Amino acid sequence: MSAVASPIRVSGLEKSYKDLHLLRGIDFDVAGGSIFALLGSNGAGKTTVVKILSTLLSADAGTASVSGFDVAAQPAQVRGSISLTGQFAAVDEVLSGRENLVLIARLRHLSDPGGIADDLLRRFSLTDAGGRKVSTYSGGMRRRLDIAMSLIGHPPVIFLDEPTTGLDPEARIEVWQAVKELAVQGTTILLTTQYLEEAEHLADRIAVLHQGHIIANGTLAELKQLLPPAQVEYVEKQPTLEDVFLAIIGVDTATDTPSGPTRKDSR
C-alpha cells in the first residue's frame, strides 16, 4: 500500500451516551510520520476518539479514516494497519519479556519470531531483562515492552492512549524517548494525554479537546500565538521538585526533560 499523506483523518465526528454529548463534531488530520497529541482533561473524550479510530466503537455521525481506510466501512483493513496501546500495559507477567514478544509474533504468523523479539529488545534497551519474568519489571520497562509488542508486524499507525499514566518521572522519560524514536523511524502516532508537559515535549501538533470540541489545533508555537502579548519579566528560575528528583537520581534534565521557562512570557 502506498504512503498516505494524512494517515489519520477525522471529520465531524460525534458520539453521545444518552444525554452525555462527548464528541460534538470534531475535525483533525495527522500527517504521516508525526506525533499528534490529543490533549484534554479526564472525561474529555480522548479515549472515545481512539476507540472509534481503532474500530472498537461506532461514531454517531461524521467520518474517519486510518491509513486510507474508512473506519466504519473497512474495519478489518483499519485493524490490520494499526496498533493500540492502552493506559495499562497489556503484558503477560508470567512470561519473560522475550516470550511476550515471541508470542505476539507467532500470533501474527510472522517468520522468525525469535529474531523479531531480539531486535525489539535491543531497540527498547530491554536485552538484559529479556529473559526475566515481566513481573520483575519496573513500570517503565513494562510500558516499553508494551510499546515494543505493538510494533510487531510494522503497523504504520500507532495509538497511544495516555501511555505514561501512573509512571514515575524516570519511567515517563524512558517512554518519551521510545515514542520519539518511533516517529523518527516514520511511524505515525496519535497520543492522548492530560499532561501538558508531555504534549509539549513530544508532539509535532497539539489539539485541545474540551467539552466535545477541538478548541485549538496547531504546533506549540502556533498555540502560544493565541495568547495576548504579555509584559516580560526576567526572573531567576527555581528548580521544580521534578528537577530535583531527576538530578538526584542522575538524569540529565538538560537533554532528557522539557526545560522550564526562564521568564514569565506567554509568547
The DSSP-derived string for 86-105 is -SS----TTSBHHHHHHHHH
The answer to whether 201 and 169 are in contact (CB under 8 A) is: no
What type of residue sits at position 228? P
Residue 62 is inside which H or E element, if any? Answer: strand 61-66
CATH numeric code, 8-225? 3.40.50.300
What's the CA gap between 178 and 125, in Å, rounded?
10
Average pLDDT for 143-169: 89
Model confidence at 86, pLDDT cuts 50, 70, 90, reads confident
DSSP state of 137: S
Query: Residue 244, Cα to own-chain centre: how many angstroms?
Result: 26
Dihedrals phi, psi of 153, to nearest 5 degrees: 95, 0
Decide: pTM greater than 0.85. no
pLDDT at 163: 86
pLDDT at 165: 83
Whether pLDDT at 1 is above 60? no
- Taking only the tens place, the pLDDT of each residue in 28-50 is 999 999 999 999 888 899 999 99
pLDDT at 83: 92
Least confident of 89-98, 136-145, 224-233, 252-261: 252-261
What's the CA gap between 58 and 225, in Å, rounded?
36
pLDDT at 139: 86
pLDDT at 178: 85
pLDDT at 50: 95
Beta pairing partners, 157 = 82, 188
Parse the chain into domains and list their residue ranges. 8-225, 227-267
What's the CA gap between 170 and 193, in Å, rounded?
17
